[in-house]
Amino acid sequence: MASHRKPRPTGTRVAGIRTPALATAALTSVALLSQTADATPSDDGRPSLEEVEKKVDDLYRQAGSATEKYNAAKEKTAKQRKRVDRLLDDVAQRTQKLNEAREELGSFASAQYRTGAAIPETATFLLADSPQDYFDQNQLMSRLTGRQKDAVDDYVTQQSETMKKRREATESLETLTESQKDLKTAKATVQKKLATARELLSELTAEEKARLAAIEKKKQQEAARKAAELAKQQEAAERERQEREREEAARQESGAGSGTGTDTGTGTTEPSAPDASYGTKAEKALAFARAQIGKPYVWGATGPGSYDCSGLTQAAWKAADVSLPRTTYDQVNAGTTVSVSQAQPGDLVFFYDDLSHVGLYIGNGMMIHAPKPGAYVREESIYYDGEGSIHSVVRPA
């Protein structure tokens, strides 16, 4: 995967839009803010709008990254809990078998008493520190019948296996405890970042929010312009591809073609024209995603009433019978990386160097995503946070 990853775009990254709906206007472009006199620090010591925007943007970015860590810890904890439960069930079953083996040996000991045996070796065996200690004396073995020998062997086996599984269960419980600690830490980190961001936003005046709302609108218009530009490029590339296919088909029909076609086997043009099966699956994923529009973003949520970004993409592709990992860190490795210009409906668009956000490409430079706390699942330009925020595009099926 890494060898196919799109080179990072150069240039200055534009700050993102990552605030709750209550104060969406607060997250705006540093570049745009720097063009206004309002971005300068105030005389009363309060931070400038530019400083508030940058701080809130950073907090929501950090919260997004922490959310993915929370998702990973939650998934690990769930898997570890299942393993612990399986081991404990196994230990219980083996303990039952060990008790049954012990009871059978006890019946032999009782029989020795009834027959007047001088020394009840089976009883002595049961009281020994370990079965092997007693076997080393080679006294019991010579007097055991075949059935008794089988019973002793079964007891030794059950005791050994039970002790082994108990050790495994203990180790798994310790690992589970650590996973739960990681989960708790990640959750606290997210909550702290969001609380700090909300506090900063609450201190903005109505006038400041209004000014920033106007700047935000300009930024959205620029993102829409970039999306339309990409749509035109993709449309032109598709027409060119179809024209090449028609020309190749004509050459094949006339017998003059060499049979090379547009698919050279190098993979250079194939990602821009996925096969029909991908298109069918992508349609199902997109239909699911569209049905979720309007549902709230909730960090750590996987539906059906709310989603975080990777929870939405995972659920969408699950509707198409394609299993994606839970976190953005793993989803980015769950397919073939293509360039932004080759993005097709259904592809996953990842953002930022820390892979803290993902959306589902729907075509024409647009995506469906669960943006941030306080917002709702929606359609938006993939350039919503500037071209430099796009990390990579991955085709998952």
DSSP string across 279-327: HHHHHHHHHHHHHTTTPBB-TT-BSSS-B-HHHHHHHHHHTTT----SS
Residue 390 dihedral angles phi and psi, to the nearest 5°: -75, 125
CA 365 to chain CA centroid, nearest Å: 24
List, in sequence order, every residue forming a beta bridge with 393; answer none if it has no partner: 338, 349
**Contact call for residues 378 and 352 (beta carbons, < 8 A):** no
Q: Is the dihedral of CA 374, 376, 380, 383 positive or negative?
A: positive
> Which residue in 15, 18, 16, 61 sits closest to 374, CA to CA?
18
Structure tokens at 244: 């090449």
Cα distance between residue 365 and residue 384, in whole Å: 10
Alpha-carbon Rg for the chain, nearest whole angstrom, is 32
Instruction: Supply the residues annotated as catalytic.
Output: 309, 357, 369
- Residue 274 vs residues 3, 45, 89, 205, 267: alpha-carbon distances, Å: 20, 56, 47, 50, 11
